[in-house]
Amino acid sequence: MASGTEHTLTLDTINPHLKIVKYALRGPIPIRAAEIEKELKKGVEKPFKEVIKLNIGDGQAMGQRPITFIRQILALVTYPRLLNNDHFPKDTKERARAVLEACKGRSIGSYSESVGIEVIRKQVALYIKERDGGIACDWNNIVLCSGACDGIRNIIKLMKCEVDGKKPGIMIPVPQFPLYAALLTEFDIERIDYYLDETNNWALDISELQEVIDEARKVCHPRALVVMNPGNPTGQVLPRENIEDIIKFAYKEKLFIIADEVYQLNVYGEGSKFFSFKKVMMELGAPYSKMELASFMSCSKGYMGECGLRGGYSEIVNFNPEAKAVYLKSISTKLSPTGLGQTCMYAVVHPPKKGEPSFDEFMTEKNALDEEFKLKAKITELKLNAIEGIKCNPVQGAIYAFPQIILPQKFIEAAKNKGKVPDAIYSMELLENTGICVIPGSGFGQAPGTYHFRMTILAPTEKLKQVLDKIKKFHEDLYEKYN
């Protein structure tokens, strides 16, 4: 503000928790990438012609084509006059009509219930039941949300409460999807980091969990355990036995399980299979089958990749009824999740069946994407591991590789002398030299003395190969320079 007038909202008077939030996904490297794009447009000379954004899990931004079936339903719901148009197959019209009939005033432009449209919640429950091999799913436990992040936020903020005079704490993996650390900082909940075991394909090591929680109990009251499966940024798919051990650990330590399962449709690893935490919990039987759990899913990932539509759901299991009432009230102040995001979720959980007119096209599009993901996951793993000084666990799921980079000692020292984090410098130099934008491992957390970066596998296959070759060249040049 001009002299003579004081700002009321300054660094000294702003929410201190928001001030210290860190969110690497929109940090200095993506910001610099956007600047470089503008420089390229202006004709500034660079050793590359375009910025390749491997920094964000956004399939359609990288050229992934939306699924016709989904988009047809969305167009019909948005502009119902198209229900008379012969271009649109009967099964897309049936689904669009089912949504519209469930909307107040038969319009997607009306508010839905804050928990979402009933017919969609019911369809989600059917999807989950089928996914979990027949284990019951009560649609009253399904809460639609504007993207999984919104759903996760709504659950985590419930935990903000001192217990026995102690600050609440939540266990989160390291490396982690940075949303979790950001939310814990925002809500002033103690962050209890546990390391994923890189030598065991990023599994959770129960003795590590035990050590960490014992230490944490000295300063806070651990309330919940966040598990991400398949993992972001780490790309692992947890084996069933690991999930069983995690559930038993959570039971013993009285932890609420927060299962981030948004990549459940992104599973490629040979022998890898997705098991939901709920399924395993239920199959373990009592007392585990009575534990509290919240699981999240999104329209943004998988073959659909509809990030911009903001569709997602939460399944909440075994809630205390009074706590559930507070939760439902708290989301009611957000009015309702977006109707079109909900519709997208409906299309995802209610795909065309064999015999329906959209079936063939849908399967062709979906299978092509799934095959491509699988191929790219393998290419990424193989090509990264072919670089001297880089080692990468198999990309079994999700859409990321998180290779460990062995940095020359001189490079590390040079970075530290400048007060910089070595892998941040590495990622920035990669960007400036090649146009490739990745996120340094330090943005996700990593074991001390190790360095990583996260890259998505979302570039088109041929481009992905070129990118990996460029990373190889960059890495070799760096070795030559510093060794």
By CB under 8 A, what part of segment 334-373 binds a copy of itself? 334-341
385: contact with a copy of itself by CB under 8 A: no
> What is d(CA 222, CA 212) in angstroms, rounded to the nearest whole number?
10
Applying CB under 8 A, among 310, 350, 452, 454 the residue interacting with a copy of itself is 310
16: contact with a copy of itself by CB under 8 A: yes
2: contact with a copy of itself by CB under 8 A: yes
The burial of 70, by beta-carbon neighbours within 10 Å (0-12 exposed, 13-18 middle, 19 or more buried), is given as buried
Taking CB under 8 A as the criterion, which residues in 174-203 touch a copy of itself? Answer: 179, 182-183, 186
How large is the C-alpha radius of gyration of the chain?
A: 23
Applying CB under 8 A, among 122, 157, 378, 470 the residue interacting with a copy of itself is 157
Site stretch for a copy of itself (CB under 8 A), options 20-28, 211-219, 372-380, 418-426: 20-28
Closest separation between CB of residue 102 and a copy of itself, Å?
12
Residue 445's contacts (CB-CB under 8 Å, 6 or more residues apart) are 174, 175, 176, 181, 193
Applying CB under 8 A, among 126, 326, 368, 382 the residue interacting with a copy of itself is 326
Rank residues 168 and 235 by Cβ distance to a copy of itself and give the closer one: 168
Q: What are phi and psi of 179, to 5 degrees?
A: -55, -40
> What is d(CA 334, CA 389) in angstroms, rounded to the nearest whole number?
49
> What is d(CA 469, CA 392) in angstroms, rounded to the nearest whole number?
15
Applying CB under 8 A, among 119, 143, 158, 467 the residue interacting with a copy of itself is 158
Taking CB under 8 A as the criterion, which residues in 231-290 touch a copy of itself? Answer: 254-256, 286-287, 290
> What is d(CA 236, CA 229) in angstroms, rounded to the nearest whole number?
7
Half-sphere exposure of 135 (CA within 13 A, CB side): 17
Token pair for 318: 């075994």
Applying CB under 8 A, among 32, 46, 71, 420 the residue interacting with a copy of itself is 71
From residue 443, alpha-carbon distances to 26, 58, 59, 300, 447 in Å are 10, 18, 21, 21, 12
Task: Give helix 240-252 / helix 206-216 axis angle, nearest 10°.
Answer: 20
Rank residues 202 and 249 by Cβ distance to a copy of itself and give the closer one: 249
Applying CB under 8 A, among 93, 95, 121, 223 the residue interacting with a copy of itself is 223
38: contact with a copy of itself by CB under 8 A: no
Task: Outline where DSSP puts E strands in 243-309.
Answer: 256-260, 293-298
Token pair for 12: 């000294």
312: contact with a copy of itself by CB under 8 A: no
Rank residues 23 and 273 by Cβ distance to a copy of itself and give the closer one: 23
Taking CB under 8 A as the criterion, which residues in 79-138 touch a copy of itself? Answer: 79, 82, 103-105, 107-112, 114
Q: Determine the size of the site formed for a copy of itself (CB under 8 A).
A: 98
Applying CB under 8 A, among 38, 240, 252, 329 the residue interacting with a copy of itself is 329
10: contact with a copy of itself by CB under 8 A: yes
Closest separation between CB of residue 324 and a copy of itself, Å?
9
From residue 360, alpha-carbon distances to 64, 69, 76 in Å are 19, 10, 20
Closest separation between CB of residue 241 and a copy of itself, Å?
23
Rank residues 59 and 440 by Cβ distance to a copy of itself and give the closer one: 59
> What is d(CA 421, CA 405) in angstroms, rounded to the nearest whole number?
13
- Residue 454 is given by DSSP the state E
Applying CB under 8 A, among 48, 129, 146, 284 the residue interacting with a copy of itself is 146
483: contact with a copy of itself by CB under 8 A: no
